[in-house]
Amino acid sequence: MLNVKEIRKDFPMCVKQDAGNGKVYLDNAATTFKPYSVIEAVTRYYTDESVNIHRGDYDLSYQVSDEYEQTRKTVARFLNCEEREVIFTSGASASLNLFAYGWAQKFLKKGDVILSSEAEHASNILPLMKAAELTGATIEYIPLTEEGELTIEAFKGAMHDKVKLVSIAHISNVLGFVHPIKELTKITHEYGAIISVDGAQSVPHIKTDVKDWDIDFLSFSAHKMLGPTGVGVLFGKYALLDQMDAFMLGGGNNARFDICGNIQLKNPPFKFEAGTPAIEAVLGLKAAILYLEKVGMDEIEAYEHELKTYAVSQLKDLKNVILYNPHAGTGIITFNVEGIFAQDTAIYLNSKGLMVRAGNHCAKILVEVIKTSETVRASVSFYNTKEEVDRLVDALRTITLEQCIDLSIM
Amino acid sequence: MSDYLKDPQIHREIIMDHYQHPRNHHLSDDKTYHKAHMASESCIDDLTVMMKIDKGLISDVCFDGVGCTISTASTSILTDLIKGKTLEEAKSIINSYYAMIDLKELNEDLLQEAVAFQNVGKQANRIKCATIGFKAIEQMIKEEETHD
Ligand SMILES: Cc1ncc(COP(=O)(O)O)c(C=O)c1O
């Protein structure tokens, strides 16, 4: 069992809330708060070791380069992969674009099929649409259940010999279902295809094991898992990374080049890391992973699901609230209030100190599945409490359209 | 201008009414209509407004799409206000609405029910919602004028 009261003391944003600023943060799927250990790792770089990596012949550069590579080691342990399979990017979007450019655009051909789902985030599906346009491949969508879940049966039905790439989110950012990645991967490989997993919402909330699942690629961001903004990871199986093209060329990614244009690139992962990275953010990512490991990913998953189940049990009793994903197994609660537009609901909740997100959550084609274009999303993290969920439920119990309008016109 | 339009309670009722029963809430297949698709950067309101102009007169105007209370109600009120008006009249209604949103002056005779939005300008994040339909009409008037 987590000691949430103690955990909250590690997060300055929570400390301010507990000191009475009246705010409740329920937009953790967008980004999370950072613990002091992460903030200290970032500032330590600027105050004590503010030099470049992989360049200098002086001790300090050597030391920071080593710490930078220690993060790679930590990520590899966290994902259960090899260090050389961990590429640092600027975030999940950059990872997904790197994969689409370096692998999909290079290896897909006319007539090939990319299999994906209608619940994908724009950062996953748009780069694939571009790859399809450039290669002549087509995208097909696995039909989802009415609640928006992707089942093994539907996947089997959608799979066929022309599919060369399967690309899906492990956890949908709109509906929060955990998709059966290990089984999907097994089927994908039986057809000789590869699978790229958008882990932006899963890596922060459930235990990841790329070796056990046997997935080929995984993308995620540090800022959604207590880490700094500006850094993310693309994991890829080494043999695939070796064939894949780099998206950027430049300092740090080449071994040698000459004036005739002969370029020899370094091996993965360095081949993909041209230019000076967000060094402080990478160092912060290590601190974030150490924090998550200390709390325990299994404990985090269990507690967040418990909070979500509690929220659903309370919200179910409210006649004015429509819940879209009561059965999803993670901490994402997607809903609307009858007769009130999602954005108006979010603005009302804001007036009560509650931070949630309204919109289509960058998954614009999901409209066809859940039959509503705009929803409100409350997403919990393990530092949220039942009392905070109660604040949300109480606010929704008394919301009226009149109050929402008054907030805008008074 | 009747006094009842000064009452905040009435403002709220006007907006509720236009949100729940928006006027001219449909689109037209008629190819001679002007059309403006407005999707605000906040990635939430997504309205299409259409307008037919006959010899400088707005003979029809309609809209549809997804919008919050403020964008839906303000666009609905606008369609009521400018239907049957000349382009010049419509332009002065739009300008006077913007002056109200900027909290500068309130022309009740021109703005009629739109006075319900007289304080929206105090909520910076709602100004986009309250002006989305007006921007659409402005855009279509400009289009008509440059084509003539
Ligand atoms: C499922 C999913 N994929 C990708 C992304 C993109 O992440 P980032 O904005 O950190 O690049 C997000 C973030 O909202 C997401 O939820």
Q: Find the closest chain A residue to B118 by CA distance.
A: A409
Rounded to an integer, the average pLDDT of B112-118 is 95
How sure is the predictor about B90, in pLDDT bands with cuts at 50, 70 and 90? very high
pLDDT tens per residue across span A200-238: 999 999 999 999 999 999 999 999 999 999 999 999 999
Structure tokens that stand for B135 in this block: 């921007």
Beta-bridged to residue A263, according to DSSP, are A257
The pair of three-digit structure tokens given for residue B136, joined into one six-digit string: 């659409």
DSSP string across A119-132:
T--HHHHHHHHHHH
Instruction: Check residue A137 and give its pLDDT.
Output: 98
pLDDT number for residue A273: 95
Chain B residues with CB under 8 Å of A340 CB are 69
pLDDT at position B41 is 61
CA pair distance A340, A295, nearest whole angstrom = 39
pLDDT above 70 for A25: yes
Distances, alpha carbon A95 to alpha carbons A162, A184, A198, A286, in Å: 25, 21, 9, 18
Question: Who wins on pLDDT, B9 or A234?
Answer: A234
φ, ψ of residue B86 in degrees (nearest 5): -80, 165
The per-residue pLDDT for range A243-292, each reduced to its tens digit, is 999 999 988 888 888 888 888 889 999 999 999 999 999 999 999 999 99
Provide mean pLDDT across the span A54-66: 90
Q: What is the CB neighbour count within 10 angstroms for residue B16?
A: 17
How would you classify residue A214: left for phi > 0, otherwise alpha for psi between -120 and 50, otherwise beta? left
Confidence of residue B6 (pLDDT cuts 50, 70, 90): confident
**φ, ψ for residue A312 (rounded to 5)?**
-60, -40
For the domain covering A39-293, report its CATH number.
3.40.640.10
pLDDT tens for each residue of A93-134: 999 999 999 999 999 999 999 999 988 999 999 999 999 999
**Nearest CA to A144 among A176, A115, A117?**
A117
Q: How far is the CA of A122 from the centre of ligand 1 (A)?
A: 8
CB distance A359–B72 less than 8 Å? no
Q: Distance between CA B34 and CA A385 in Å, rounded? A: 52
Instruction: Confirm or reject contact between A405 and chain B (CB < 8 A).
Output: yes
Q: Strands (DSSP E) along B2-103, which ranges?
A: 34-39, 46-54, 57-66
- Measured from the Cβ of residue A58, the count of other Cβ atoms closer than 10 Å reads 9
Distance CA A349, CA A116 (A): 34
Q: Please tell me the distance between residue A37's alpha carbon and the centre of ligand 1 in angstroms.
A: 24
Whether A32 and A38 have beta carbons less than 8 Å apart is answered as: no
More confidently predicted of B52 and A369: B52
Given this model, what pLDDT does residue B5 score? 72
Annotation says A362 is catalytic: yes
> What value does the mean pLDDT take over residues A297-313?
96
Partners of B118 on chain A (C-beta within 8 Å) are 409
d(CA B46, CA B40): 7
Q: CB of A330 closer than 6 A to ligand 1?
A: no
Tokens found for residue A287: 């601190």
Percent of chain B predicted with pLDDT > 70: 94
pLDDT of residue B8: 87
Candidates A339, A374, A409; nearest CB to B15: A409
In whole angstroms, what is the distance from residue A148 CA to residue A370 CA? 7
pTM for the whole thing? 0.91
Beta bridge partners of A375: A359
User: Is it the case that residue A57 has pLDDT exceeding 80?
Assistant: yes
pLDDT band at residue B74, thresholds of 50, 70 and 90?
A: very high
CA-nearest residue to B117 within chain A is: A409
Structure tokens at B44: 């939430």
Instruction: Report CA(A332)–ligand 1 centroid distance (Å).
Output: 14
Q: Do A409 and B67 touch (CB under 8 A)?
A: no
Query: Domains (ranges, CATH) in chain B?
Result: 3-147 (3.90.1010.10)
- Is the distance from CB of A170 to CB of A201 less than 8 angstroms? yes
Extract the tokens encoding B134. 């007006």
The residue that leads in pLDDT, B76 or A144, is B76
Ligand 1 centroid distance, CA of A123 (Å): 6
Choose among B23, B122, B28, B26: nearest CA to A406. B122
Output the residue whose Cα is nearest ligand 1's atom 16.
A173
The number of angstroms, rounded, from the C-alpha of A218 to the middle of its chain's C-alpha atoms is: 10
Secondary structure of A138-149 in HEC code, one letter for each residue: EEEEECCCCCCC
Closest-approach residue (CA) in chain B for A341: B68
> Do the chains contact at A409 and B117, CB–CB below 8 Å?
yes
| Average confidence (pLDDT) over A386-403 | 96
**Residues in B lying within 8 Å of A, measured between beta carbons:** 8, 11-12, 15-16, 19-20, 42-46, 66-70, 72, 116-120, 122-123, 125-126, 129-130
Ligand 1 atom 9: residue of nearest CA: A93
Q: Report the pLDDT value the prediction gives residue A159, as an integer from 0 to 100.
A: 98
pLDDT of residue A366: 64
On whether the A4-30+296-409 domain is CATH 3.90.1150.10, my answer is: yes
Atom of ligand 1 nearest to the CA of A198: 3
Two tokens, residue A11: 């997060």
Q: Which residues in chain B touch residue A374, judged by CB atoms under 8 angstroms apart?
A: 44, 66
Domain spans of chain A, in order of start: 4-30+296-409, 39-293
Give the model confidence (pLDDT) of A135-194 as tens digits: 999 999 999 888 889 999 999 999 999 999 999 999 998 889 999 999 999 999 999 999
Assign B45 a pLDDT band (cuts: 50, 70, 90): confident
* B44 confidence band (pLDDT: 50, 70, 90): confident
A59 touches chain B (CB under 8 A): no
How much is the mean pLDDT over chain A?
94
pLDDT at A189: 98
